[in-house]
Amino acid sequence: MTTRIEARFARLKEEGRPALVTFVMAGDPDHETALKIVEALPAAGADVIELGMPFSDPMADGPSIQKAGLRALKAGASMQRTLSLVKDFRKGDGDTPIILMGYFNPIYIYGVEAFVKDALEAGVDGLIVVDLPPEMDDELCLPALDAGLNFIRLATPTTDDKRLPAVLKNTSGFVYYVSITGITGSAAPDAGKVAAAVSRIKRHTDLPVCVGFGVRTAEQAAEIGGNADGVVVGSALVSAIEASSEKGGGDAALKAVTDIVASLAEGVRSARLAKP
């Protein structure tokens, strides 16, 4: 059966343009505002939504996403509430792919079998679990794939041709290429290096390749999107939520995020149109 993620990328391939993949943290700055933001993302231009699973020790994330997770936890976020957010989103949107992204610990505590079952029932389409290497596929990856969830793996600038086949072996939906070494939001990607890396990955797989980490502007999104199947933006949105919610509350956060997404979507949609 074709998943929502696979269907979305197939449609975008027909349209000849890359996807805009947006990341926000579940429960940030609070559950109600987070739900409103997620519900507004598709109309603003998001093609795929990554939803962060709040965790108290997010070692691969930069300060903005770390703080988002802590804000969410302080506001009462939990795995149960994250899944309920997805379920509520699905009441009004049956097409936009939702991917849960984060760390294995909250899933392990929830129980892998129960998590996979409840995630599917809520309307989750895929998982990105940044601290589960291919050597631990039995823990979550294979049960998730067997149940019909896509399992999206990260490739990085240090993932060489010898390591890449192991990374790709049980990956489905798309490959997430981390364009810089280090934590999220720490630097801007080099478009030339990204293009070369995407080309190299595509020699090993037919899966779409999406590029994230460091993309903040429409111009960057257009440049990266010219060589990738998708552009992932997270820290810029999370930072906007933090800044605007402190000043004007939930409505301000909602407007700030949708304004940025609309701008980024314009950049992404120009990426392939500009090609002859």
Q: Which residues are catalytic?
A: 50, 61
Compute CA 170 distance to the chain's CA centroid, rounded to the nearest angstrom.
Answer: 18
Place of tokens 């989103």: 89
- Could you count the other beta carbons within 10 Å of the beta carbon of residue 130? 18
Q: Supply the DSSP symbol for 49.
A: E
Q: Of the candidates 52, 20, 12, 68, which has an alpha carbon nearest to the alpha carbon of residue 246?
A: 68
Cβ distance 226 to 269 under 8 Å?
no
DSSP 174-199: -EEEE-SSSSTTSS---HHHHHHHHH
Residue 92 identity (one-letter amino acid):
G
